Structure formats: structure tokens, C-alpha cells
Chain A
Amino acid sequence: MKSATGYQGIPRWIYAIAAVGGLLVVLPLAAMLAKVNWPQFFPLITSESSLAALGLSLRTSAASTVLCIVLGVPLALVLARGEFPGQRLLRSFVLLPLVLPPVVGGIALLYTFGRQGLLGKSLEVAGIQIAFSTTAVVLAQTFVALPFLVVSLEGALRSAGNRYEAVAATLGARPTTVLRRVTLPLVLPGLASGAVLSFARSLGEFGATLTFAGSLEGVTRTLPLEIYLQRETDADAAVALSLVLVAVAVAVVGLSYGRQRSTTPSEVHA
């Protein structure tokens, strides 16, 4: 009990169900933790294939996060501030990857950028092959992670309103100047947490990557794919690598929530 002052109005039995919900998330993680082969932990996660997969995951996730920012900031801006026909439709489509099974996303990407795909044929003529390459990994991750950045930033833009922008414009600032010097600094916390979430989603991407990019060691076999593969042969390695991903995820969640908590009350100092 942090402070017993205010009336909460929560029935007691709600706590019981909430506890079950919490356990559903925490218990499996604890069970996995119990299975970790601690003496072999470091050798397992520093094996050649593990390091290759970890390195590839970090590089592709960083690249797709950058891509998410480059594409997601304009998307969030036109969705939050713009006015054009089909705006609601565009928002629905941008958010689709959130609810779409990733494997479906992978198939869709394959029929776009694959050898026989919509754009793939022309790209093939130009000598560019995307499917089953590291580029494909980045594209698959961007596909599934983009909505996280857009949703987070659009919310920040909406709650910030555009009064500061209006003042900036009457002071003589061009729209580009307003964006650079007013809008982006004001929504920086929202942008940062959106980017962190996108990075986390990219890091965990499995289905779309496997479908669209395959599982080629050092080229497209990211950490989740490596874990899935190792599970068949070396369960200890799979558990150890899973723990690495859990650690990264915990750090990411801590980072983004910690930021939000500390910036909300004293946002003006940011």
C-alpha cells in the first residue's frame, strides 16, 4: 500500500484476478530462468553462431528503427495534424501490422519485393535483389515496427496541440522551421519512447523475417530465428539466448517507461 488516503473503489476480488494475470506473464519467465544452465551461460551466448545472430539482430534493428523514424515522423504528422481525404483509411492501414500475423506480413512483402513480386520484377531487372537478404530483414522489421512509432508519436502530437506552432508561425517562422525548432523538440519524449518500442519490436521480429528473408546464418538469421533453430538441437543455448532477449526487453521497457514517468510531471524542463 503506497498511500491509503484516497478512496480507490476497487473490489477485492479484482485484485485476485489481476494477480492471476500478472502470474501468467511472470511465471513463464521465472520457469525459463530456472532452466538456465548458469555454468555454461557465457560460452553459450558467445558461441560463433550466437554472436553472429546477436550482432545481426542489433544492426538490423538499429537500421529499421532509423527507417521507422524517417518514415514514421512524417506519417504521424500528417495523421495527427493534416487534413486530407482518406486520412482515417490511411490510419487504419498503417496500424494494420499491429494486428496482422507477422507471417502474413512476410508473405505480403514477398509478393511485393520478391523475385516475382510487384516491385521485385523491376528491381530484379535493375540488378537489385531484396528477398532473402539483410535488407529484407530490415524491411520486415520496419513493416511490423512502424505502427509502434506512429501510434506513440501521433498521441504525443495530439496531446501537445498546435498552439505553440500557431504562435511560432505568427512570429514569422516557415513551416519547416516550426517543425524543426518547435514541434519536434516538444514531442521529443513521445518520439523517443516510440523509437525505443520500435527497436524492441524489431529485435523480437520472427514470422515476417522467416517468411520474407529466410534463415541464412550471418545474413538473415537474427536472434529469434537462432533461438528457434537451437531449440531443436541445443535447448540450453536456446534458453540462454532467450534470457539475453528478455534482458534487452526489460531494459527497453524500463528505459521508455522510466523516461515517460520522469518527463511527464516536469515536461517543461525537458
Chain B
Amino acid sequence: MSFEVHASLRARNFEMSLSLNDGETVAILGPNGAGKSTLLGVISGLLRPDSGAARIGDKELFRLDGGTRLWSPPHLRGTALLAQEALLFPHLNALDNVAFGPRSAGASRTAARETAEHWLAEVDALPLAKRRPAQLSGGQAQRVAVARALAADPELLLLDEPMAALDIHAAPLLRRVLKRVLKDRKAIIVTHDVLDAYMLADRVIVVERGRIAEEGPTRQVLERPRSHFAAGLAGLNLVTGTITEDGITTPDGRVFAGQHDSGWSPSPGQAGVAAFPPSSVSVFLGDVHGSPRNSFAVTITDLEPHGDQIRVRAGGGSSAPSLSADITPAASADLGLVPGMDVRFVVKSALVSVYPA
């Protein structure tokens, strides 16, 4: 049973359309306010779009096209929602929280408890069964919330940044649990974290300003990102422009030489993207002699630690995208880099990948 949705909501400048195959997990990546949570709200029935339709297999969730105004309420949709906060019902213990879905579906008290125990065990939380939500840590509560969502036997599981509110020690455990339970299950996971996308999703959809900016298999999107957001996530620099014989020319006339992606024959004049990691960028003061290609005058906007290196971000004028370079702290100190300084970025063309936009 596949899932498909298309919907538009003018008040939020939202217009998206996507589908999921059976057993597929899709990660939705995007900046704040891009419409990720709106998408989950529309699918779960908590938010009503102006128009659109959604169905899981033969079951219609809503159809607001033309004359039909079909709108199924959230409790009939089979789309359990797991939010950033666990939102366990504070007056019920962990077991009764997990049993809530089965009980609502009409299961007997005993049957619901058995289901709840099964799912608590599934998320390694059975010893917490008798605890109140106030007695659980953030990570424990979120695992119980995962069990609660799964116990409702949803046809489609919606996860809205489930790891965002957890500390760095609790996140890996939950991620492992999710990897196990999301296998062969239809799920949409909204996340900020590339690692979540890599580990949990078969496919990635990047959304920007209420629209889908790009989508594709996880690895492909993150290694060959086309949207600025995905590039930022993957830590890559991304420059859009027109494809030339040996690289790309940006609208403001800069030339980025690079390697064309294999399995694709470039046709000059086509729109394209050049991507390169910050580690392929070197920083120089003053003019650089030699090949003028891949050398750009930029103004440093900020410096920040990135691992054991310094990430230097620079804007190249009003129209050019910002670029970043990774250099050692020693090099940064030698060059005396400070924000506002004019420097040159030099990019190794062997490390620039060019592919069609």
C-alpha cells in the first residue's frame, strides 16, 4: 500500500506533492519555516490545506479538489505523529501511555497492556513501564513515545524532529531504536541532522520555502546536493551557474573549473551546479600568481571552529553565494584572519564536482 499526498496552503506559501512506496522511509530536510511541520500537519489531519488530496492505498485521507470536500479526522487516518517533545500524557504511567492507542481502537484492557508491553520491550523500555512521565529522562520519554506511536499500529508513521530535543548522549540510542523499528515501515521523518537521514531514510526530500527543492536517494542527495540547504547540511560549497566545457560560470562571471560528474555528457549553456568541500579551499592574502581560475576575491564574514579546524566563511559580493574554507588554527593565526578582511579563496579544481541542476 503506497501513500501519496499533494496539498497547497496559501497562507503558509506551501505547495508540495510526494509519495511513498510500501516500507519506505523518507527524510524531509530543510531550514526552519520551510514547511516541514506543515506537511506533517496536513498528512495527520491537524492542519487543513486549501486544496489537495492524500491517500494510503485505497483509503482516502482527504480530497479537497474541485467540488469534493472530503476530510477525514485525525483519529481515522492511521498516521501516528511523534513530535520533538515526547508529549507523554502526564497522568498516565509509561505502560498506560503506550496502551492508549490500542485502548482507543477498542482493545480490551488486557490485550492493550500486552501490546504495550511488546512495544516497550521493542524500544528497550520495559523496565520503565510503571514510571510516570515526570520520572523519565528525555531520551527515555522519547523511546516510550516511539513505542506509543507504534502500538497504535499506524499505516504511516510521522516523526517531527524526534531527536532534536535530546542531549547528545540520548540521541544515538534512540537513533538505533528507530533504525530497527522503521525498517520495512512507511515513515516520514523530519530532521535537521544529516546523520538521521543517512541512517534512517531510503530517500531524502529537501524542502525550501514551502516547495520541494530536490529529492532522491539519500546518498545521492547528500553527496551531490543541488539545493543550498542540502549543501549546507553536507558541509559542501555549492555554486550554481551555466555549464561550460570544463566547469561552470556563475551569473557574475566567475569561473569554477571542475570535474564533470561521470555518466553524464555536459552540454555547454545548460544550468549546472558545482560542489566542493570546504577542505578543498585554501585562503591567501593578496594576489595569487599562476592560474587565475578558481581564485576569487572574497570578504570574510565569520570564523568558527569546526572540529579541530577553523571554518572560514566568506561572501563574494551581493549576488555570489557564500563559500567556506577549512584551514588549521595555526594557518588562521599566521594569516591574521578576522571578519571583514579581504582575502582570496583558491579552490582545487580536481575536487570540484560539476553536474546538471
Contact = CB atoms under 8 A, between A and B. Distances in A.
Interface in B138-174: 148-149, 152, 154, 158
A168 B77 CA distance: 12
A178 B133 CA distance: 18
Interface residues of A, number: 23
Interface in B60-115: 73-81, 83, 87, 89-91, 100-101, 103-105
Nearest to A173: B104
Contacts, number: 76
A177 B45 CA distance: 17
B75 A173 contact: yes
A181 B89 CA distance: 9
A171 B46 contact: no
B104 A171 contact: yes
Given A166-B46, A166-B74, A171 B90 contact: no
Contacts of A186: 89-91
A177 B90 contact: no
B134 interface: yes
B211 interface: no
A3 interface: no
Interface string A160-187: 0001101111111111011001100110
B134 A169 contact: no
B348 interface: no
A176 B158 CA distance: 24
Interface string B322-345: 000000000000000000000000
A169 to B, nearest CB: 4
B341 to A, nearest CB: 44
Interface residues of B, number: 30
Contacts of A174: 75, 104
Q: Which DSSP category, helix, strand, loop or mixed, fits chain A's interface?
A: helix
B185 interface: no
Interface in A2-54: none
B43 to A, nearest CB: 10
Contacts of A167: 81, 83, 87
Interface in B232-254: none
A64 to B, nearest CB: 28
Interface string B281-305: 0000000000000000000000000
Contacts of B6: none
Interface string A231-270: 0000000000000000000000000000000000011111
A172 B87 contact: no
B44 A170 contact: yes
Interface of B: 44-46, 73-81, 83, 87, 89-91, 100-101, 103-105, 132-134, 148-149, 152, 154, 158
Interface of A: 163-164, 166-175, 177-178, 181-182, 185-186, 266-270
